[in-house]
Amino acid sequence: MKFRFDRWSFIVACLTFFTITLCNTSNAEHIQVNNAQQLVNALKNANTGDVIILASGTYLTSPTTYYYPLAGYYEPLEGDIAGRTAYFRGSQDNITIRSADPAQPAILSGNNWNEEGYVLHITGNNWTIQDLKLTNGAKGLILDNASNTLVRNVEIYNIGQEGLHIRDHSHDCVVDNVHIHDVGKKNDGFGEGIYIGSDNSVWYEGDGTDTGEKGKRYRRACHNNWIKNSTFGPNISAEPVEIKEGSENTIVENCIIRGSGISGANFADSHLDIKGTFTQIRYNHFYQDGNYTIDQSIMVVPRQNAGVEQQYTAHDNYIYGNTFDLNDDGVEMVVANSGSEAIFAWNNTRIPASGATYNSRVENYHPGTLKTGTGAKGSSCHLAVPEKSYQLDGGAGSLSFEIITEESFSVGTNQNWVSASRSGNIITLTYQANTSGGERAGEIQINGCLDIEIALTQSTGEAPCSLKPESSTLSFTAISGTATILVESSENFTVSDDQSWITATQQAGAVEISVLENNNAGTRSGTVTLSGCETKTITVSQSGIENSCSLVLSKNTHHFSDQAGSVTVQVTSNESFTASADQSWISTSISGNDLIVSVSPNEQSSSRSGTITVNGCEQQTLQITQAGKPTTGSGVVIEVAEDAYVREDKPTNNYGTATSLRAEQLPAEDQEIFLKFDLSAYASTDISLANLRLYPYSGSGATNKLYIANNSAWSEQSINWNNKPDFGSAIKSWYVDNDDQFFYIDITSTIKQYAGQDITLVITGAAQDDIRYRSKEAGVNIPMLLLNNPPEDFNQLRKEISPVPAAFRIFPNPNRTRYLKVEGGQGEIRIYNLQGVLVNSAHQSVIDISSLPAGVYIVQSGRATKKFIRQ
């Protein structure tokens, strides 16, 4: 739903006023139009049956303030209501606006799609809009209270938001052979091609908490509308077609609906959204156009969770005879979300046929009878005022005006100096003299089926004096300078300043302000005071000189092994600097722009750390850590420094903070894992054995492969598919037979080769399953390198997890039946929950699991285990 205020539009209003007699069709005219002003006049004076004929060319006008709902064509409306020829709701003969030559259609154009406003706005029944082009507006064609309207052979393009909107009690409309493309250029999440109805948050039948554009609430009923033989796309940024809750009996047929341009913003991931009821989508052709933002072609979206009653949303909808060209096998033709009822789809064709079709809430058969709603339309709402604003003089007075409406309404004001009363549809305004010394503003508030505000501005009464500088603030750079501020005053005035670096001098009708150079780094400010019949101030601010100093270290952390060692850190600074360490085992020296850091051997088994502080024009720190001396018979554990996975189908997304690392290989949807380890503290001679330890917690039956990245210049906060480092041939592979166990990959020769530097390991997957490993953000079972672990330590880290015997099998898995069957069990079969609690046991091969709630469980037989899912 959109909440936007539009400031200009072609507006066509047809209103009912019970005192006006409708004109007969015998008075119908053919009105020839050649320029914008003629079009304005034709729209303002149109009678039932009139045909407004536009010569070929572009009708371009400039924006003006919009007020609802009198007629206008980007022009201010100065005439009163009585000047209108007719106000009516409904007649047997439409008013028609069309081009003289359909082969060279007239173009109705606003200034720019990035400015607010409608290109064409219809606010009454029985119109025909034919053989036109609409372009360059925030919205294209809007039908409000515009029932029995025909839109035919119209092209709508270069629009900032939605292209065509049928709303506010518009029913029985026909949209035929319309081409809508290149819309949503201003707000891509609100750029629907055609939009039928309104979000329930702005229904007139609601509680009125939220309102729509121009403070207006829209009638819910938009029924029996027929969209046919039209083309939607390319480059529609939201859904090409959206049918809102509260809309009944919509038909969309024989249309071409393109997927190119659908952005994914504001949940725009479908060709067509159905939130209404009794809808028929038939004989259309949908194209994905290679747009992988599309998750499904048609989505049925119930709105009960937004407070909509079931009768108004997502039931009795029918999708049949359509063709879906979907190049992504995972994109379903129709998806019905939870809460949908009676959604039927049949005789639809998917290209290619191997892809997904419907989810489980869609009934894949002809229901026999296609139900239709009652199409109860309720009543229309019309409320018109003659002026959008009034200018009042400074003295006390009153004025009266008449509004046109058939509805009940109330009237009031928002200021105590003005009051409003009514007698029938005549509103009388009474206001007091303005003695405030300045102009003041207020508004008349009319509350009915529409809420309308009329702006009031009252000029000041005679004041003894005014003193008005053109600006109350003035800014200077650090250098000296002078500026002049004009002053409007009816009497003499003096000036003064409160800072020694400011000099203020009175000039004829102005004040001249000068400042000295600011040699300090900080900004300074002062005040110039103007004194006369009033006192006014000007705040003067001056920025300081820029600090051109910087001090940057080539690294801010370094890790040493337990042995004595040193490292050189480059310092980039345009001034001299010093360095000091807070630990005696750390020493520093400086050679030019190089900081040399040395450490003595660590004879203790525990690691230690310290900080080096570098002082210059700025201060930086270097964190130093040193490993403890290894004990006899034990190795070293190096935890992963940075880890992330990347996705080919979401090439700009970063997953560096995820608790999982995912590997899978599918067409255009590969997922790859990147692991960075810091080996800077280790020499090749320090390493005799190196194992990579991984823990897959989900997925099985797939082979993973290990690679070495060409570089380690990446960060887990920014890596994605587009910027990931390249890698060469696989160096290792392993088969993941089951999850929830450790895997150890011997990569001794590779780790020895990369000793003393960073190394990045890359893991790729296979198509059989998505293998998910724990990341360092998970906090447990994280990736690590095990250096020089003797066999006893190696087994301890494995926690003696045995492989599952091939003969041990449980089925069905996942399981939603009463019984779990076991093959190859040894002795008692035990079932545990994930908290380690025994929840069932048996010695037979068929186990009654009906008492187990849905969840994940571990089945154990001897030393063999299996995971199963209870649904």
| Domain end marker among 608, 626, 644 | 626
Helix (H) or strand (E) run with residue 423 in it: strand 418-423
The residue that leads in pLDDT, 384 or 455, is 455
What is the rounded average pLDDT for all residues in the chain? Answer: 84
Range with the lowest mean pLDDT among 27-31, 209-213, 455-459?
209-213
- Give yes or no: residues 154 and 234 share one domain: yes
- Give yes or no: residues 450 and 409 share one domain: yes
| Distance of alpha carbon 693 from alpha carbon 778, whole angstroms | 15
Q: What distance separates the 2 farthest-apart alpha carbons in the chain?
A: 111
Residue 136's alpha-carbon distances to 34, 61, 110, 183, in angstroms, are 20, 11, 5, 10
| Distance of alpha carbon 738 from alpha carbon 702, whole angstroms | 9
- Give yes or no: residues 772 and 841 share one domain: no
> Mean per-residue pLDDT for 797-818?
61
The pLDDT value recorded for residue 298 is 98
Is residue 282 situated within a structural domain?
Answer: no
Q: Note whether 259 and 270 are within 8 A (CB).
A: no
The residue that leads in pLDDT, 341 or 23, is 341
| Distance of alpha carbon 466 from alpha carbon 812, whole angstroms | 89
Is residue 405 situated within a structural domain?
Answer: yes
**Does position 8 have pLDDT exceeding 70, yes or no?**
no
Each residue's pLDDT tens digit, 639-676: 899 999 999 999 999 999 998 999 998 888 899 999 99
Strands (E), 160-198: 164-167, 174-176, 179-183, 194-196
- Give yes or no: residues 678 and 736 share one domain: yes
Is residue 656 situated within a structural domain?
Answer: yes
**How buried is residue 210: exposed, middle or buried, by Cβ count under 10 Å (0-12/13-18/19+)?**
middle
What letter does residue 277 receive in the DSSP assignment? Answer: B
The pLDDT value recorded for residue 77 is 25
**Does position 811 have pLDDT exceeding 90, yes or no?**
no
Cα dihedral 771, 775, 778, 780 in deg (nearest 10): 90
Phi, psi at 764, each rounded to 5°: -115, 160
- Give yes or no: residues 504 and 609 share one domain: no
Residue 255's alpha-carbon distances to 180, 251, 270, in angstroms, are 11, 11, 16
CATH number of the domain within which 822 lies: 2.60.40
Is residue 49 situated within a structural domain?
Answer: yes
Q: Note whether 230 and 252 are within 8 A (CB).
A: no
| Domain end marker among 595, 626, 657 | 626
The residue that leads in pLDDT, 580 or 62, is 580
- Give yes or no: residues 555 and 524 share one domain: no
CATH number of the domain within which 183 lies: 2.160.20.10
**Does position 832 have pLDDT exceeding 50, yes or no?**
yes
Helix (H) or strand (E) run with residue 36 in it: helix 36-44
Range with the lowest mean pLDDT among 66-70, 177-181, 446-450?
66-70
- Give yes or no: residues 49 and 71 share one domain: yes
How much of the chain, in percent, has pLDDT values that exceed 70? 86
**How buried is residue 819: exposed, middle or buried, by Cβ count under 10 Å (0-12/13-18/19+)?**
exposed
Taking the model in full, what pTM does it have?
0.47
Is residue 369 situated within a structural domain?
Answer: no
CATH number of the domain within which 425 lies: 2.60.40.10
**How buried is residue 455: exposed, middle or buried, by Cβ count under 10 Å (0-12/13-18/19+)?**
middle
Strands (E), 547-628: 551-553, 557-560, 565-573, 578-581, 586-591, 594-599, 608-615, 619-626
Q: Note whether 346 and 365 are within 8 A (CB).
A: yes
Each residue's pLDDT tens digit, 149-189: 999 999 999 999 999 999 988 999 999 999 999 999 988 77
Is residue 415 situated within a structural domain?
Answer: yes
Q: What residue has token string 């207020």? A: 442
| Distance of alpha carbon 163 from alpha carbon 195, whole angstroms | 8
Total domains present in the chain? 6
- Give yes or no: residues 783 and 744 share one domain: yes
Each residue's pLDDT tens digit, 45-63: 778 889 999 999 998 865 4
Tokens for 310, please give them: 């079931």
The pLDDT value recorded for residue 207 is 62
Each residue's pLDDT tens digit, 70-91: 233 322 222 222 222 222 223 3
Q: Note whether 53 and 98 are within 8 A (CB).
A: yes
Q: Closest Cα partner for 260 from 230, 237, 241?
A: 237
Tokens for 861, please give them: 């037989």
| Domain end marker among 495, 519, 542 | 542
Contacts of 834 (CB under 8 A, 6+ apart): 855, 856, 857, 858
The pLDDT value recorded for residue 825 is 74
Is residue 322 situated within a structural domain?
Answer: no
Is residue 285 situated within a structural domain?
Answer: no
Contacts of 21 (CB under 8 A, 6+ apart): none
- Give yes or no: residues 523 and 667 share one domain: no
Each residue's pLDDT tens digit, 693-734: 999 988 888 899 999 999 999 999 999 999 999 999 999 999
**Does position 282 have pLDDT exceeding 90, yes or no?**
yes
Tokens for 51, please give them: 């045909």
Q: How confident is the model at residue 545 (pLDDT cuts 50, 70, 90)?
A: confident
Q: Closest Cα partner for 386 from 288, 452, 340?
A: 452
Size of the chain in residues: 871
**Does position 522 have pLDDT exceeding 60, yes or no?**
yes
**Does position 213 have pLDDT exceeding 70, yes or no?**
no
Tokens for 253, please give them: 């047929």
CATH number of the domain within which 792 lies: 2.60.120
Tokens for 249, please give them: 């009996």
The pLDDT value recorded for residue 727 is 95
- Give yes or no: residues 496 and 620 share one domain: no
Tokens for 625, please give them: 């850590």
**Does position 790 have pLDDT exceeding 90, yes or no?**
no
The residue that leads in pLDDT, 577 or 826, is 577
- Give yes or no: residues 93 and 138 share one domain: yes
Q: Find the domain containing 482 and state its range.
A: 467-542
**Does position 11 have pLDDT exceeding 50, yes or no?**
no
Instruction: Provide the b/e sequence for 228-261 (b: ≥16 CB within 10 Å).
Output: bebbbbbbbbbbbbbbbbbbbbbbbbebbbbbeb
Classify 310 as helix, strand or coil: helix
The pLDDT value recorded for residue 863 is 66
- Give yes or no: residues 507 and 560 share one domain: no
| Distance of alpha carbon 72 from alpha carbon 37, whole angstroms | 10
